[in-house]
């Protein structure tokens, strides 16, 4: 009888836990105690010296929520202690968070873990500055948890880029893939090549709708010049802002395709030498960097030298997608390169291009990521593959023992429609509601357990041709990225869409408090 009673009681306590702990992404394990802790008198945040920066950021967030922070640290009931622990049982980026009536204690084996614990704490905090009493043990499923943003088609104020990173970090994403160069705009200041931004940073007009036929002639344009770019000063600010939130910024410098803005600025880098103009609508363009001329590689290395000085992370994304080979087929420089290097065809020429850039970046201590087209013609020896045209590229790369980031369009492209209503703003294609993102499984069944280890994570991509404003970006990204955070962080076994919908009721309030213009479609599904 006693046993039955305790099982029932345990069940009630678990329900209680579900009702109160609504953290997204869902933690690995949560034990909930009886009662609540009020954080009403001045709170002392005590931290090891090595994590004082995390503590300061946390104190600032608490203050912004109206909690008073003690001027002088004092140990007592309103103390939150942050500690780096040598406890080997805490995985990298993982943490333990314990809240009792006598205060809160956070332990982790890394500063990132401490940071994630503070984000969980902030999510636990109610609008009346209370938290449940909990013991949380938490760590991520995947090491690479990415969110991408295309600023080539449309760009956004730097304050928005910071907010985007801040909201990502709140969801425990740790990689911001910043797509900085495109046919429609080159957005990163390169001091050695000022025309990249003065010419390539601007297009003469933008599309207001979709092409009604297969040719671009049927696109309707707004007739308004558009453009801009991020200075190196501003980029440094963004990288530092991200670092403080344990987000690594991965810049993407597209090559050899999606190069029309760069070619408009420096036509000598194209096979036909132009003239070219910055593209006015999205798509795939025939004019790409010439792979035959040495000056293309000199240019690329010069650009990358400046990029490396701005972005200290391990990875540089070099694009590699959607590069038509028609110009190379007709170009004497490219054909000479094919002959001199004894290459079989233009696919091997693309591989030559990527290999050469990889070698350069490896010599500087960096690694490349490329879209899955870099498999064609042979993978560069150390490349990480970002699989976007489905999972096939990722599967092939993992079988070749290359690291893989899964970003298959149908599941994780947030420029796809999220609803079928006619009132939805124009989007690229597709239909990817929140439930579909939530159902995504980055490890495909075709991989053995050994091969699956090469899938280091996954990422949502956000292509911006139809997103003119920050508000529109947020509408497309949240709560689909909230769903993705759970795919990336939470244990596979604990994924449960109904439970996610339930927690999203509280999480919607948090997004609102952060002034995020999230989409509300899931309210129809929430009971
Ligand atoms: C891509 O979506 N073109 C990588
Ligand atoms: Zn050429």
DSSP per residue, 459-487: EEB---TT--SHHHHHHHHTTHHHHHHHH
Where a domain ends, among 81, 115, 138? 138
- Model pLDDT, residue 214: 66
Ligand 1, atom 3: nearest CA belongs to which residue?
321
Ligand nearest to the CA of 288: 2
Whether the Cβ atoms of residue 187 and residue 228 lie closer than 8 Å to each other: yes
Ligand 1 closest atom vs CA 409: 2
Which of 152, 371, 373 has most ligand 1 atoms within 8 Å of CB, for mutation? 371
Ligand 1 closest atom vs CA 258: 3
Q: What is the pLDDT of residues 13-35, one digit of tens each?
A: 443 444 479 999 999 999 999 99
DSSP state of 289: B
Range of the domain at 429: 144-495
Query: For residue 209, how far is its CA from the centre of ligand 1 (angstroms)?
Result: 20
Does residue 507 fall inside a structural domain? no
Same domain, 151 and 131: no
How many C-beta atoms surround the C-beta of residue 224 within 10 A?
Answer: 10
Query: For residue 322, how far is its CA from the centre of ligand 1 (angstroms)?
Result: 7
Pocket of ligand 1 contains residue 116 by CB under 6 Å: no
Contacts of 498 (CB under 8 A, 6+ apart): none
Does residue 520 fall inside a structural domain? no
- Model pLDDT, residue 18: 40
Same domain, 158 and 129: no
Pocket of ligand 1 contains residue 388 by CB under 6 Å: yes
| Cα 190 to Cα 230: distance, rounded to the nearest angstrom | 10
Contacts of 16 (CB under 8 A, 6+ apart): 32
| Cα 441 to Cα 455: distance, rounded to the nearest angstrom | 11
Same domain, 102 and 176: no
Pocket of ligand 1 contains residue 371 by CB under 6 Å: yes
Contacts of 132 (CB under 8 A, 6+ apart): 20, 21, 32, 33, 36, 37, 99, 124
Same domain, 128 and 176: no
Mean pLDDT, residues 210-236: 88
Where a domain ends, among 105, 138, 171? 138
Instruction: Dig out the tokens for 363 from the structure.
Output: 């010599």
Same domain, 364 and 223: yes
Ligand nearest to the CA of 463: 1
Ligand 1 closest atom vs CA 386: 4
Which of 322, 387, 432, 465 has most ligand 1 atoms within 8 Å of CB, for mutation? 322
Does residue 422 fall inside a structural domain? yes
| Cα 339 to Cα 256: distance, rounded to the nearest angstrom | 19
| Cα 97 to Cα 503: distance, rounded to the nearest angstrom | 19
Which of 372, 385, 388, 390 has most ligand 1 atoms within 8 Å of CB, for mutation? 388
- Model pLDDT, residue 209: 80
Does residue 443 fall inside a structural domain? yes
Does residue 523 fall inside a structural domain? no
| Cα 197 to Cα 189: distance, rounded to the nearest angstrom | 6
Same domain, 97 and 237: no
Helices (H) and strands (E) in the chain, counts: 18, 18
Ligand 1 closest atom vs CA 319: 4
Instruction: Dig out the tokens for 403 from the structure.
Output: 């690291």
Query: For residue 321, how far is its CA from the centre of ligand 1 (angstroms)?
Result: 6
| Cα 414 to Cα 168: distance, rounded to the nearest angstrom | 14
Does residue 517 fall inside a structural domain? no
Pocket of ligand 1 contains residue 321 by CB under 6 Å: yes
What's the domain count of the chain?
Answer: 2
| Cα 93 to Cα 100: distance, rounded to the nearest angstrom | 23
Where a domain ends, among 95, 117, 138? 138
Ligand nearest to the CA of 287: 2
Any idea what the CATH number is for the domain that residue 168 is in? 3.20.20.80
Same domain, 79 and 219: no
Does residue 258 fall inside a structural domain? yes
Average pLDDT, rounded, for the chain? 94
Whether the Cβ atoms of residue 289 and residue 342 lie closer than 8 Å to each other: no
% of the chain beyond a pLDDT of 70: 96
217 pLDDT band, cuts 50/70/90, is confident
Q: Which residue has the tokens 């709140």?
A: 170
Q: What is the pLDDT of residues 66-124, one digit of tens each?
A: 999 998 888 888 999 999 998 889 999 999 999 999 999 999 999 999 999 999 999 99
Question: If 0-12 CB within 10 Å is exposed, 13-18 middle and 19+ buried, where does residue 190 land?
Answer: buried
Ligand nearest to the CA of 460: 1
Pocket of ligand 1 contains residue 322 by CB under 6 Å: yes
Q: What is the pLDDT of residues 465-523, one digit of tens each?
A: 999 999 999 999 999 999 999 999 999 999 999 999 999 999 999 999 999 999 999 99
Same domain, 156 and 187: yes
- Model pLDDT, residue 87: 87
DSSP string, 122-172: HHH--TTSEEEEEEEEE--S-SEEEEEEE-SSS---HHHHHHHHHHHHHTT
Query: For residue 154, how far is its CA from the centre of ligand 1 (angstroms)?
Result: 16
Same domain, 373 and 462: yes
Pocket of ligand 1 contains residue 48 by CB under 6 Å: no
Same domain, 149 and 80: no
Mean pLDDT, residues 141-168: 98
Same domain, 257 and 362: yes
For residue 210, is pLDDT > 90?
no
Query: For residue 9, how far is its CA from the centre of ligand 2 (angstroms)?
Result: 73
| Cα 483 to Cα 500: distance, rounded to the nearest angstrom | 8
Ligand 1, atom 2: nearest CA belongs to which residue?
388
Query: For residue 282, how far is its CA from the centre of ligand 2 (angstroms)?
Result: 23
Query: For residue 10, how far is its CA from the centre of ligand 1 (angstroms)?
Result: 49
CA distances from 362 to 295, 355, 367, 401 (A): 20, 10, 6, 18
For residue 396, is pLDDT > 50?
yes
Does residue 59 fall inside a structural domain? yes
Same domain, 91 and 161: no
- Lowest average pLDDT, out of 204-218, 237-251, 387-401, 473-487, goes to 204-218
Any idea what the CATH number is for the domain that residue 96 is in? 3.30.379.10
How many C-beta atoms surround the C-beta of residue 96 within 10 A?
Answer: 22
């Amino acid at each position: 009888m006693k046993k039955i009673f305790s099982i029932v009681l345990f069940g009630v306590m678990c329900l209680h836990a579900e009702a109160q702990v609504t953290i997204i992404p869902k933690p690995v394990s949560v034990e909930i105690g009886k009662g609540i802790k009020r954080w009403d008198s001045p709170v002392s945040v005590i931290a090891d010296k090595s994590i004082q920066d995390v503590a300061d950021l946390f104190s600032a967030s608490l203050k912004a929520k109206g909690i008073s922070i003690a001027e002088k640290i004092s140990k007592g009931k309103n103390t939150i202690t942050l500690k780096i622990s040598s406890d080997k049982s805490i995985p990298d980026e993982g943490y333990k968070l314990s809240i009792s009536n006598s205060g809160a204690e956070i332990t982790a084996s890394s500063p990132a873990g401490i940071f994630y614990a503070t984000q969980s704490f902030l999510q636990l905090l109610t609008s009346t500055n209370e938290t449940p009493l909990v013991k949380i043990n938490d760590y991520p499923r995947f090491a690479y948890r990415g969110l991408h943003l295309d600023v080539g088609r449309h760009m956004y104020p730097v304050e928005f880029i910071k907010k985007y990173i801040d909201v990502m970090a709140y969801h425990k994403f740790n990689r911001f893939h910043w797509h900085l160069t495109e046919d429609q705009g080159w957005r990163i200041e390169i001091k050695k090549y000022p025309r990249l931004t003065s010419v390539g940073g601007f297009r003469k007009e933008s599309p207001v709708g979709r092409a009604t036929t297969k040719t671009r002639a049927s696109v309707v344009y707004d007739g308004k010049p558009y453009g801009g770019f991020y200075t190196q000063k501003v980029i440094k600010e963004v990288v530092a802002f991200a670092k403080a939130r344990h987000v690594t910024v991965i810049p993407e410098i597209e090559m050899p395709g999606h190069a029309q803005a760069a070619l408009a600025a420096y036509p000598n880098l194209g096979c036909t030498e132009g003239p070219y103009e910055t593209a006015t609508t999205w798509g795939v363009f025939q004019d790409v960097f010439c792979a035959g001329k040495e000056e293309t590689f000199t240019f690329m290395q010069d650009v990358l030298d400046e990029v490396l000085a701005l972005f200290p992370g391990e990875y540089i994304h070099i694009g590699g997608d959607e590069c038509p080979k028609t110009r190379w087929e007709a170009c004497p420089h490219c054909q000479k390169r094919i002959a001199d290097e004894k290459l079989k065809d233009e696919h091997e020429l693309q591989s030559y291009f990527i290999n050469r850039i990889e070698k350069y970046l490896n010599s500087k201590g960096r690694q490349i990521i490329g879209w899955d087209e870099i498999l064609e013609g042979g993978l560069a020896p150390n490349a990480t593959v970002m699989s976007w045209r489905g999972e096939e590229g990722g599967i092939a790369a993992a079988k070749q023992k290359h690291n893989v980031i899964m970003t298959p369009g149908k599941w994780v492209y947030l420029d796809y429609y999220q609803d079928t209503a006619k009132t939805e703003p124009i989007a690229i294609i597709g239909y990817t509601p929140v439930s579909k993102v939530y159902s995504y499984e980055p490890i495909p069944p075709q991989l053995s357990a050994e091969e699956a280890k090469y899938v280091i994570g996954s990422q949502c991509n956000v292509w911006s041709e139809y997103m003119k404003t920050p508000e529109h970006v947020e509408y497309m990204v949240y709560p689909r990225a909230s769903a993705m955070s759970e795919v990336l962080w939470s244990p596979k076994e604990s994924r449960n869409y109904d439970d996610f919908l339930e927690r999203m009721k509280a999480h919607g309030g948090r997004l609102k408090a952060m002034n995020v213009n999230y989409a509300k479609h899931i309210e129809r599904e929430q009971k």
